[in-house]
Structure 1
Amino acid sequence: MFFMNSNKMFFIFILFFSTLISVSSNSWLGCWIGLEINLLSFIPLISSPKNLLSTEASLKYFLTQSIASVNFLFSILLMMILLKNFLMNNYISIMINSSLLMKMGSAPFFFWFPNIMEGLNWMNCFTIMTWQKISPMILLSYYMNNNFIMIIMIFNVIIGAINGFNQTSIRKLLAFSSVNNLGWLMASLMISENMWFMYFILYSFMTSILCFLFSMLNIFYINQIMNFNLIHSIKISLLINFFSLGGLPPFLGFFPKWIIINFLIHNNMYIISFMFMMSSLIMLFFYIRMIYLSLMLNFFKLKWSSIKIKNNFFLLINFFSLISLSGLIFNTFLFL
């Protein structure tokens, strides 16, 4: 299932190094070139002649990313022309930040993101939710307009939480969860790059477990979780990872959010911290809704068709799920 031919391995190799080019470049033009190589290497990975949805998703992705790249290049040229005009620097920084926000699927430029996620398989969903956000986020830290980013942070956490209502597709739900977590990532980026790196690693870790698990089960919609007679180890693994992704206190995902909330409160950002906490509660409601019925209801008619996973990789997933429970131990020591 995880076998990939040589062509895909080549494009993954280019995708990896294009991100390094963007991050390590010492000029804006080099950053733009790295972003373009990243775009051109990711499209062959998501397009498939056997699936019309993935082909449509690759076309939408190309169009939106091209528009963002043109805006980014135009903003760079404008900045070089008006370098000595300090009054225009504020507007140019907003233009550069907006183009990078559009590239990563942030609010208010998120409309393309859930539709493209719906047409991808789980491995590509994991890539677009994690790896494709590295370059825009780091470039955003180079020329960040703090007042503008604070407004975008609030938009992200609110829009990501509200748009999750009435979603039956798990891919769209995780897409809006990614929009919500972008607000937390921007807040961590305002603290320090080390804080951003820790939050991003933990978010990628939790998202990877969910994507790999859904890929093995071939589950794409919420009613599949409820109707399929999954064994208890799968249900508990989903429960632990969703709670950790939502930031429930005993689990590992709570720690970076706790640090960010402390930073916001110490800097007298009480309204923003309240919005962040309320959005996390709404996201937890979505995650509990997905797991609650499958845990509480007993399907007698499906007893003969219990779904199991005979794969050593699932044992690894269960091990990483138990690592998330280690947050309970660290939490106990920190509050003593």
Structure 2
Amino acid sequence: MHFFMNSNKMFFLFILIFSTMISISSNSWFGCWIGLEINLLSFIPLISNSNNLLSSEASLKYFLTQSIASMNFLFSILIKMILMKNFEMIYFISIMINSSLLMKMGSAPFHFWFPNISEGLSWFNNFILMTWQKIASLILFSYYMNLNFSYFIIILNVMIGAIGGMNQTSLRKLMSFSSINNLGWMIFSIMISENLWIFYFFMYSFLISIMFFLFYMLNMFFINQLFINNMNFMIKMNLLINFLSLGGLPPFIGFLPKWIIINFLMMNKLYLLTFIMLMSSLITIYFYIRIIYSSFMFNYIKMKWFKIFLKNNFLMFINLFSFISITGMIFSTFLYIY
């Protein structure tokens, strides 16, 4: 990973982590805003790369969208300070603050920048964008949540995330729509409890880190590359296991956090929301299976020299994580045996 050899990049990565901590541990809205700004300014040097036109474009787009969201956020908290007594306005202000935070994390209906930008980033930067960059916005969102608005946003997220990924050929765009879909589940989990959100977030990060690492090692960016390359059988198995786990299929560990959320939805009689979230999950599993199917079934020209060998220690790591992915669910069933 040439990334970790670069002292500048490491410095900005440290500030990125530090700025999220500033945001979530701040005791005023203004402090939260400052943390978000530092976060934005430290992420841009990480993603901009003068050799790659797409990444320069992505960093500019990212800067513009985040700046608009930040201005909106600052404006909303100032109005909130001035009109503290006016109860009619408070409802409107809460929607404004929520909207600016949703725009910062790339949630639907403010998601248009998200797949576009992820197309111009490397796999490691995509990983940061889809996991770490969501933490501050989500936690601030949970501080000042408008319930009815949140339900509407959750439904939009799961539906757009599912339908948007249907006709994608780029793996990066596909993973970003999958991230939008998972964001709907994450917002609901943070409405239930912060611990459940931490658990869901950790599971999601764990699963996509394996996926992105595999794509990085195999240098893959589009679906057709998966079946032009005659991959090692173990790599194919790992892809299968991790994609199904990410989709939330029962024997795998990715199902566990979704199971807990569904359990909560059923206990609170939110049947329509449960139905919408489950159906959208089915669609995401459909497009994951489409990728796996093509990499399993199609074998292009087999040439003796056209083989992929991952370094053994990396493959061991990935195998171990996939094993955890399968067995995790067995351990988790003990939670429900009283």
TM-score (norm 2): 0.97
Within-5 A mapping of 1:1-336: 1-2=1-2, 3-299=4-300, 301-302=302-303, 304-330=305-331, 333=334
C-alpha distance in 1, partners of 2:302/2:125?
Answer: 35
2 CA distance for matches of 1:137 and 1:223?
34
User: Which deviates further from its counterpart, 114-123 or 264-273?
Assistant: 264-273
In 2, the alpha carbon distance for the partners of 1:328 and 1:88 equals: 47
Mapped partners of 1:33, 1:321: distance in 2: 39
Q: Post-superposition shift, 1:257?
A: 0.3
Q: Which amino acid aligns with 1:161?
A: A
Matched residue type, 1:174 = M
Does the aligned pair in 2 maintain the 1:129–1:178 contact within 8 Å? Answer: yes
Contact persistence 2:256–2:329 (CA under 8 A): no
Cα distance in 1 for residues equivalent to 2:57 and 2:5: 22
1:52-73 C-alpha deviation (Å, 9 max, x unpaired): 1000000000000000000000
Contact kept? 2:62, 2:117, Cα under 8 Å: yes
What is the deviation of 1:304?
4.4
CA 1:47/1:327 → structure 2, altered by over 3 Å: closer, same or farther? Answer: same
Deviation of 1:317 (Å): 1.6
Number of equivalent positions: 336
User: What amino acid does structure 2 have at the position aligned with 1:165?
Assistant: M
Aligned equivalents of 2:199 and 2:139: distance in 1? 14
Distance in 1 (CA, whole Å) between partners of 2:191 and 2:78 is 26
Q: Which amino acid aligns with 1:254?
A: F
| Paired residues of 1:177 and 1:283 also in contact (CA < 8 A) | yes
Task: For residues 283-315 of structure 1, give each alpha carbon's deviation from its aligned partner in whole angstroms, at most 9, with x where no partner exists.
Answer: 001111001122234445345412221252231
Name the CA distance, whole Å, in 1 between partners of 2:299 and 2:123.
28
Contact persistence 1:213–1:314 (CA under 8 A): no
CA distance in 2, matches of 1:67, 1:311: 46
Counterparts of 1:177 and 1:151 in 2: how far apart (Å)?
Answer: 18
Inter-partner Cα distance in structure 1 for 2:307 and 2:52: 29
C-alpha distance in structure 2 between counterparts of 1:56 and 1:311, whole Å: 36
Structure 2 gap segments, 5+ residues each: none
Once residues 334 and 5 of structure 1 are traced to their aligned partners in structure 2, the CA distance between those partners, rounded to angstroms, is 44
The percentage of aligned residue pairs carrying the same residue is 68
